[in-house]
């Protein structure tokens, strides 16, 4: 095994010493089994406040208040929390964001509603990209089949994402809906959402943004972009915990025009009347369906407080610094071993994770996990370093990338640089 590079250690120490957000690291639960957690873009660490909140909920809110909790707080929580997410992370005014269901279900509901809207009359094409997360592609394939719609595919570069020019090339008077990710799940490419939305609107199409790899780490301005619809998960940079419910956004001026396809009691106009027929509730509540997952909504509240305290611009600045340092380490330690950077080097176009490709990474991942270093792997050959700004230190990045180097040397038999 090669020795640590003092220059990397010294540089990490200097960056940590100068980090204005370093104080937030103590807000998260540590694991004695993990020396470098580089998968915050898949599952964020729990906050200490959330661990306490979850315990209190079982005895106080659930155990003591019981069914009275619905009248006292829980009924309004999906909308109150939606407004909080909108204000802290999405650039969205109140009354447009809700929490409930999984990302997959919310995507389905919003896509179906958009294609059935009056604005989509006479339009039968959906624009999407081949590099998007499987859920997005699978949902759109199924909805297109149901509606007899045609999918118009964009093929971004391996280490890139979708550009405005690529979108313009496939837009037409047949385009009903454009569905793209703001930050590409594999490469981390940040799309120019404002310009893409403008071009789609000029063509008469609606736009739905997937914000799973943006919310809480990369500034989002849904209202300023003029976005129509958005969806995103809460267990990555919003640290809501495994399977915490997703959020959806519907622009205020569009809400009355859309009919959501999964008509459940919690989205009806008088849910506790148990009436004979469905009528949609006014406003964004109509996009709820079944009983909200209240327990799943608890933990993200504390992370939203931390993001609000730090300020999203400061979070983004730390994210850029972390990924920039990770790229320096990758260039010094992994590229000489045959690795290839598969994320944008331009800070403006890079989200909060860095992907590195190597044909041996599938074999290195088990070694890394055994040693307490936790990145994730995306086929065919990509190792993702997901850096959650408030919980990740620069030295943690150093430890992690050096461990990747050591495992790669062990697996390939090549000498370290």
Decide if 376 is catalytic: no
User: Taking the CB of residue 253, how many other CB atoms lie within 10 A of it?
Assistant: 9
Instruction: State the burial class of residue 353 (Cβ atoms within 10 Å of its Cβ: 0-12, 13-18, 19+).
Output: buried
Indicate if 28 belongs to the active site: no
Choosing from 285, 350, 384, 398, the catalytic residue is 384
Q: Of 98, 235, 247, 287, which one is the catalytic site residue?
A: 235
User: Helices 394-412 and 6-17 meet at what angle, rounded to 10?
Assistant: 150
Q: 323: number of CA atoms within 13 Å, CB side?
A: 35
* Triad 300, 280, 244: Cα angle to 5°: 15
The whole-angstrom separation of Cα 249 and Cα 247 is 7
CA distances from 417 to 8, 73, 127, 406 (A): 14, 58, 44, 11
CA atoms within 13 A on the CB side of 238: 33
Which member of 210, 302, 357, 406 is catalytic? 210
Per-residue tokens: 39: 């998968």
Buried b (16+ CB within 10 A) or exposed e, 223-252: bebebbbbbbbbbbbbbbbeebbbbbbbbe
Which listed residue (133, 247, 287, 361) is catalytic?
Answer: 133
Annotated active-site residue 235? The verdict is: yes
Give, in degrees to the nearest 5, the angle at Cα 44 between 38 and 45: 90
CA distance 362 to 339: 13
Paired tokens of 52:
């306490």
CA–CA separation, 15 and 247 (whole Å): 34
Query: Is-catalytic flag, 384?
Result: yes
Set 84, 119, 123, 236: catalytic member: 236
Please say if 236 is a catalytic residue.
yes
Instruction: List the catalytic residues.
Output: 133, 210, 235-236, 384
């Amino acid at each position: 095994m090669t020795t640590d590079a003092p220059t990397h250690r010294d540089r990490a120490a200097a960056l940590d010493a100068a980090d204005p957000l370093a104080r937030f690291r103590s807000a998260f639960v540590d694991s004695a089994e993990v020396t470098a957690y580089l998968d915050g873009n898949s599952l964020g660490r729990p906050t200490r406040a959330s661990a306490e909140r979850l315990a209190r909920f079982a005895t106080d809110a659930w155990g003591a208040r019981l069914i009275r909790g619905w009248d006292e707080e829980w009924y309004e929580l999906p909308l109150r929390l939606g407004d909080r997410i909108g204000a802290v992370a999405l650039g969205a005014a109140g009354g447009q964001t809700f929490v409930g269901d999984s990302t997959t279900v919310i995507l389905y509901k919003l896509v179906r509603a958009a294609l059935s809207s009056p604005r989509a009359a006479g339009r039968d094409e959906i624009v999407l990209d081949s590099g998007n997360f499987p859920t997005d592609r699978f949902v759109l394939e199924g909805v297109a089949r149901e509606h007899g719609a045609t999918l118009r595919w964009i093929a971004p570069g391996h280490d890139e994402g979708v550009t405005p020019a690529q979108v313009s090339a496939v837009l037409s008077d047949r385009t009903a809906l454009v569905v793209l990710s703001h930050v590409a799940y594999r490469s981390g490419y940040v799309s120019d959402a404002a310009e893409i939305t403008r071009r789609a609107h000029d063509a008469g199409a609606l736009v739905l943004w997937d914000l799973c790899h943006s919310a809480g780490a990369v500034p989002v301005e849904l209202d300023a972009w003029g976005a129509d619809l958005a969806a995103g998960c809460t267990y990555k940079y919003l640290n809501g915990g495994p399977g915490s419910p997703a959020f959806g956004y519907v622009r205020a001026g569009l809400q009355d025009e859309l009919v959501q396809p999964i008509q459940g009691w919690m989205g009806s106009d008088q849910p506790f009347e148990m009436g004979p027929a469905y009528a949609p509730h006014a406003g964004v509540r109509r996009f709820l369906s079944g009983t909200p997952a209240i327990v799943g909504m608890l933990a993200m509240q504390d992370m939203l407080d931390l993001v609000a305290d730090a300020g999203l611009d400061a979070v983004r600045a730390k994210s850029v610094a972390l990924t920039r340092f990770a790229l320096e380490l990758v260039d010094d330690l992994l590229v000489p071993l045959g690795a290839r950077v598969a994320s944008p080097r331009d800070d403006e176009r890079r989200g909060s994770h860095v992907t590195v490709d190597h044909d041996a990474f599938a074999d290195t991942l088990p070694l890394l996990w055994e040693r307490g270093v936790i990145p994730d792997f995306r086929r065919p050959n990509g190792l993702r370093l997901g850096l959650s700004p408030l919980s990740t230190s620069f030295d943690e990045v150093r430890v992690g990338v050096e461990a990747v180097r050591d495992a790669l040397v062990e697996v390939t038999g090549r000498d370290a640089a």
